[in-house]
Amino acid sequence: MRTTRTAAALLVAALTLAAAGCSGSGGKDSEPKPSGSGSGKGVSTPRLKIAMVTHSGEGDTFWDIVQSGAKQAAAKDNVQFLYSANKDGGQQAQLIQAAIDQKVDGIVVTLAKPQAVKDVVKKAVQAGIPVISINSGAEFSHEVGALGHIGQDESVAGEAVGEQLNTEGKKKAVCVIHEQGNVSLEARCAGVKKTFKGTVSNLSVDGTNTPAVTSSITAKLQAEKDTDAVVTLGAPVADAAVKAKGDAGSTAEVVTFDLNAKVVASMKSGAIGIAVDQQPYLQGYLAIDELWLYKTNLNVIGGGKPVLTGPAILTKKDVPALEKYTAAGTR
């Protein structure tokens, strides 16, 4: 498994171990103790209520994995976990306001459309509710008053893809943006363009309409037969790209951001060549754990700096090690 930022990956691993050690039972009397049930699966700290509000979620395997991590940490930390999502920036802002109105103890939020949600996030912070941003909009996290950001550097991730395509001798790529106005998706494509020595064009599609996505990519490949790489920015779109490649009779390699069981199966068969993993399970887990640590011990993971969970460039050789985890819904 290769990573473009080995040092960052090591840092994330160390922080994960540290978070797990701090949030479980400890050997010192001053540390939070497991609950009296004797199960060892929880802590004796007061019950907390934490809301996660994201810009996407319904029917998206990526966000299912994020939630799996968050729920695991919540069960361990004696946290009531509340989840909601809406791709519309204004609607997401309303969901954040609803969390404020419920007087939650912490909020986890994505900043994919920062202009739409920044004011209400600041309102949460002003109300004394600690906020952690995850996944998208890292560059806006400090501005809105979040304790920190957990995710990958989207520009660096895109640059890693461009470099990988260079290594493979690719000459012409299309980058498929499946959600308009999402700053993280735009940063990924910009990163690919920055390092790729060939040409890159962006193709905007409606990620909520899979047949239309397939048709758009098919048409692009038929019109530009010299395209030798299709870069998708999410696992569900990758599946549509694989079908489009077949429909167009193209030999282009499909490259995708993010993992799920279907992507790993497609990597195994050779239908997808490269996947960029940002460890969504870890994003959900660390976000809940950090808010618990902050509320119970005023800890801030990473000292307020972004905590990187990726990128890691994965290929067919990584499949055997990944299959059992994607099948379990944790990678």
- pLDDT score of 6 more than 70: no
pLDDT in tens, 147-193: 999 999 999 999 999 999 999 999 999 999 999 999 999 999 999 99
Which among 307, 316, 303 has a CA at the least distance from the CA of 10?
307
In contact, 67 and 288? CB cutoff 8 Å: no
Judge whether residue 33 has pLDDT over 60: no
pLDDT over 70 (residue 222): yes
58 falls in which pLDDT band (50, 70, 90)? low
Mean pLDDT of 19-26: 36
Other CB atoms within 10 Å distance of the CB of residue 297:
13
What is the maximum span of the chain, computed from C-alpha positions, in angstroms?
Answer: 68
Domains of the chain (ranges; CATH) run 2-152+279-311 (3.40.50.2300), 154-277 (3.40.50.2300)
- Stated as kind and residue range, the H or E segment containing 292 is helix 280-297
Nearest to 286 by CA among 54, 20, 50, 34: 20
**H-only helix segments in 145-229:** 154-167, 183-195, 210-223
Asked whether residue 311 carries a pLDDT value surpassing 70, the answer given is yes
Indicate the length of the chain as a whole number.
331
Query: Which residue's structure tokens are 């007061």?
Result: 46
Q: Checking phi first, is residue 181 left (phi over 0); if not, alpha (psi -120 to 50) or beta?
A: left
In this predicted structure, what is the pLDDT of residue 43?
84
* Spatial strand order in the sheet of 272-277: 2-3, 312-314, 272-277, 253-257, 229-232, 172-177, 199-204
pLDDT-based confidence at 41, cuts 50/70/90? low
- Ranges of beta strands (E only) in the chain are 2-3, 48-54, 79-85, 106-109, 131-134, 148-151, 172-177, 199-204, 229-232, 253-257, 272-277, 307-308, 312-314
Q: How far is it, in rounded angstroms, from Cα 136 to Cα 139? A: 9
Residues 20-25, mean pLDDT to the nearest whole number:
35
3-state SS assignment for residue 33: coil
How sure is the predictor about 42, in pLDDT bands with cuts at 50, 70 and 90? Answer: confident
* pLDDT average, residue stretch 202-220: 96
- Which tokens go with 48? 């907390």
Residue type, 201: S
- Computed over every residue of the chain, the mean pLDDT equals 89
What pLDDT does 291 receive? 98
pLDDT surpassing 50 at residue 28: no
Please determine, for residue 2, whether its predicted confidence score (pLDDT) is greater than 70: no
pLDDT over 60 (residue 309): yes
Q: What is the pLDDT of residues 88-98, one digit of tens each?
A: 999 999 999 99
Q: What is the DSSP letter of 317?
A: G
59-117 confidence digits (pLDDT tens): 688 999 999 999 999 999 999 999 999 999 999 999 999 999 999 999 999 999 999 99
14 pLDDT more than 90? no
| pLDDT for the residue 24 | 36
pLDDT in tens, 230-256: 999 999 999 999 999 999 999 999 999
* The overall pTM is greater than 0.75: yes
Closest of 182, 152, 148 to residue 54, by C-alpha: 182
